[in-house]
Amino acid sequence: MIKILDSKIKNFDAILDKLLSKRKNKVQLNSVSVAKIIKDIKKNGDKAVLKYEKRFNKNNIIIPSSKQIAKSIKSLDKKVKKAIDLAYNRIYKFHSLQKFKNISYTDKLQNKLEYKYVPIESVAIYVPGSTASYPSSVLMNAIPALVAGVKRIIMINPGYKGKQNPAVLYAARKCKIKEIYSIGGPSAIAAVAYGTEAHDIDYALNRALDLFYDDREKWTALQANCMSQDWSWNRPALDYIELYHAARKN
């Protein structure tokens, strides 16, 4: 609920200061919690990921099977599928017009000059989940990567009690995403950012991603601050296509 303050009341300044101080303390407390989770993931890998999934999402299924995905998608309303198909085509068309062109020419001295854009190898997208459904987050984050030529796209999407949203899974299929992890929150982001190397659990994320895209939720925004010194994080002010290309160019 939105808190409304009347600037005309006598003690307005004191009330505002108290409110801002309370908010600041809460953010600092949350930042400490996020930092602890990141440290745990870096140290304990997949075991820590599974621990947080059980705690926060009541989830034991980290990688949905192809049968689970197909069954879930089959339950999706045809009208929703049609809407996602339409959105996919429109978004793909727009971003395809943003692609950079390589430069290659030979000057008068017979010197060949080139400027070539090379896409990064891997990217992770965070799609909010649990009881929510955001197939648009899949499309708007994955399609630019497809257009740019990113070879490895993985999706982390928190489910609830082992189930993920069928619309999100259908959108992921449209975007040809082959790696889907039913994990969420700071632990999931830390896992794909730093990689997990445990060999006793078959979903080990054995190599970190080059770039990460999210929807700027409260927790992921806090995590961006905690991890900004270690790796690349998206910034809304920059264009997706530009980021995908600029991350690695020769």
Specify the long-range contacts of residues 92-97, CB closer than 8 Å, at least 24 apart. 92/143, 92/146, 92/147, 95/143, 95/144, 95/147, 95/240, 95/241, 96/147
**pLDDT tens digits along 37-75:** 888 888 888 888 889 888 887 888 888 899 999 999 999
- Asked if residue 191 lies in contact with residue 41, where contact means CB atoms within 8 angstroms, the answer is yes
Beta strands in the chain (DSSP E): 103-106, 112-115, 122-126, 152-156, 179-181, 211-213, 232-233
Residue 243: how many other CB atoms lie within 10 Å: 20
Domains along the sequence of the chain with CATH: 13-246 (3.40.50.1980)
Q: Output the pLDDT for position 168.
A: 95
pLDDT above 70 for 167: yes
**pLDDT tens digits along 176-194:** 999 999 888 888 888 888 7
Q: Output the pLDDT for position 166.
A: 94
Q: Output the pLDDT for position 81.
A: 96
pLDDT above 60 for 228: no
The β-bridge relationship of strands 112-115 and 103-106 is: antiparallel
- Asked if residue 53 lies in contact with residue 157, where contact means CB atoms within 8 angstroms, the answer is no
The β-bridge relationship of strands 122-126 and 103-106 is: unpaired
Section 195-201 average pLDDT = 59
Q: Output the pLDDT for position 111.
A: 92
pLDDT above 60 for 216: no
**pLDDT tens digits along 70-103:** 999 999 999 999 999 999 999 999 999 988 888 9
Q: Output the pLDDT for position 123.
A: 85
